Structure 1
Amino acid sequence: MTDHRGVSIVRWPEPGPLAGGGPETLLAAYHLRTQAEKGEGVAGVDDLPERYRAEVLDPRAAFLDDVVLLALSGDTAVGCLVLTAPVDGRAELKRLWTDPDHRGLGVASGLVGAALAHAEQGGVGVVRLSVWKWRADAIALYGRLGFTVSESWDEREQLVCMERVM
């Protein structure tokens, strides 16, 4: 789909094996880090809440109707993002994660850009997302990419809801 500074953005499942694992590895890192940031750290994937554990153990089933994008450096997955299937002209970005060793290289913005292009091609009118308020770098990235803070649709405290009209 996209090549950004030696990193390719592809729609998963990508044919062929990926070094270091595919979305499972990235989703595990995302969920374990998020639980720790929420003060609910767990020892491993088996201790994650069921809905998150299911994503890690079987992303193909968890995101069956959604678009999963991977950022690849060679044959190594270094970032991921999920764009949910549209409902009433809206889609949602979820699970944006970049391997810490590849941050600052445009991986996250490449993933979001590819997701927005896919949403636009699919006739999506609004793309929305929620992000934990302590993730200031992510909030700033989303702002640079045209997202604005919106009224919350999620009852969990400390979430910032944002959207972008396409």
Structure 2
Amino acid sequence: MADDDGGRPVVRPVTPADWALWREARIASLTASPEAFKARLADWERGGEEQWRARFDDPATYGVLAVRGARPVGLAAGLPAADGLPELRSVWVAPEARGQGLAGGLIGAVESWARGTGARTLRLSVLTANARAVALYERLGYATDGRAGQELIMTKRL
């Protein structure tokens, strides 16, 4: 749990009971950084509780939040793709929480989850225009493995 004084953010897995915190973080990410995602705020902002809870009904999915006090300041998710390879998705850190290593902590948590599923590779897609994210992923050991439209496909051996 995070400190009551709102000190250093804590990275922790999401439980189904955290759906409202996840919603808050996801809406914040799509509001503050719309250029970083394919998804749009309109795709999610009107979603009711059922839509948000359904995100974690599948036990094969994994979510992680960075929380400062009672407020989420970052998130990331892991999902199995249709081909079975796990994918890193929805990585975001609030502007006021950047520069503290949270992105690496969130991504590391998803990498650990993927290893726990027996995966040897984790894949992600990032918009080519998102140079800061591409640089972050490269620093963390991801390499470009292709392109799909406006996205780079990157992978990392686990």
TM-score bin (small chain): 0.7 to 0.9
Over the matched positions of the two proteins, sequence identity in percent amounts to: 28
- TM-score, structure 1 as length reference: 0.74
Cα RMSD of the aligned pairs, angstroms, is 3.1
CA distance in 1, matches of 2:75, 2:109: 11
Read off the aligned partner of 1:72 and give its amino acid letter: V
Once the two structures are superposed, residues 16-75 of structure 1 have per-residue CA deviations (whole angstroms, 9 ceiling, x without a partner) of x89xx611122113334555x38x9x8xx4xx14xx457786332134321010011233
Q: State how 1:2-17 maps to structure 2 within 5 Å.
A: 6-13=8-15
**Shift of residue 77, structure 1, vs aligned partner:** 1.1
**Residue 69 of structure 1 corresponds to which residue in structure 2?**
64
Q: State how 1:1-166 maps to structure 2 within 5 Å.
A: 6-13=8-15, 22-33=21-32, 35=34, 37=35, 45=41, 48-49=42-43, 52-53=44-45, 58-65=51-58, 66-85=61-80, 90-152=85-147, 154=148, 157-166=149-158
- TM-score, structure 2 as length reference: 0.77
Structure 1: gaps spanning 5 or more residues: none
Is the CA contact 1:28–1:56 (under 8 Å) kept in the aligned structure 2?
no
CA distance in 2, matches of 1:89, 1:165: 15
Secondary structure in structure 1 of the residue aligned to 2:65: strand
**Shift of residue 148, structure 1, vs aligned partner:** 0.2
Read off the aligned partner of 1:9 and give its amino acid letter: V
Moved over 4 A (4+): 52-57, 86-89
CA distance in 1, matches of 2:119, 2:138: 19
Is the CA contact 1:83–1:115 (under 8 Å) kept in the aligned structure 2?
yes
Aligned length: 148
